[in-house]
A and B are shown apart, each in its own frame.
Chain A
Amino acid sequence: MKVKAKEKDGIVKVKVLAKHQNIGPEEGEKKKKEANFITSVVAKVGDAVVYDMSGSGFMSKNPLYKFKFKGKKGDELEVTWTDLKGDTKTKKAKIK
């Protein structure tokens, strides 16, 4: 997972590139692979949640998520995704 966060005029722009196959149930059947996809992406600064998404199997492979929030330089952003099987991955990035 790659996370980039950049602040300008009090607004932090974030790009999250997750590495995941994101196979929906129908697609899994066709490709004879087990369906598994990112079901949730949550971003936090400290204890405050700044982004909270629930997703389906219709996200693309290696999905790119972009969002904005009010924040400041130097803070640490923590992004975590969870998939259908319960695997999670967390990545921290300093807001530049």
Chain B
Amino acid sequence: MDRRKFLGLGLAALALAPVTQLSAMDFRKEKPDAWKAEKPAEAIKALYGDIKPEEKSVSIKAPKLAENGGKIPVVVKSDIEAKSVALFQDANPRAAVAAWTVPAGGIVDYAITMKMKGSGKITAIVEGTDGKFYSKVLAIEVSKGGCGG
């Protein structure tokens, strides 16, 4: 990614970069531990540090009973002006599913299709531009596991 190489050039380049690029962050490179953590709580800690998110203003839309764990549609929505969004679950070997950098003025309405090995809880964390964290936890049932099982 050119933009990310560009950011890597150093602080001088960073200072010159337009505002929208300042928020860009490669979560996989900069927070490798967050992707290795087994439990959502550990992954959240590795990604954001010791935070106490408020359980409000974030919604998760997913089927209550997913017949096929290999393709579960999940939508994360929030009206908060956000800096980043992260999605975790507790059924797979590792917790982190995806993380988004929200561009300035971006709309938090992200839909993905994910895999889950069995029933579990999905956790979404939204980092607001106000520096506060918001969360939502949703339990779903999976009748057929989707991680090759």
**Interface, chain A (partner B; CB < 8 A):** 11, 22, 24-27, 30-31, 39-40, 42, 47-56, 58-61, 63-70, 80, 82
Contacts and interface: CB of A to CB of B under 8 A. Distances in A.
A28 to B, nearest CB: 8
B147 A49 contact: no
15 contacts: A27-B147, A27-B148, A42-B1, A51-B100, A52-B100, A53-B98, A53-B112, A54-B27, A59-B98, A59-B113, A63-B112, A65-B110, A66-B112, A67-B111, A80-B1
B114 A60 contact: yes
Given A54-B27, A61-B71, A67 B110 contact: yes
A59 B110 CA distance: 13
Given A49-B3, A54-B99, A65-B111, A60 B28 contact: no
B40 interface: no
Contacts of B106: 50-51, 69
**Which A-B residue pairs are the 7 nearest by beta carbons?**
A66-B111, A27-B148, A54-B27, A60-B113, A60-B71, A52-B101, A30-B148
B97 interface: yes
B110 A49 contact: no
A67 B114 contact: no
A48 to B, nearest CB: 6
A60 B35 contact: no
Given A59-B113, A61-B71, A64-B111, A54 B103 contact: no
B89 interface: yes
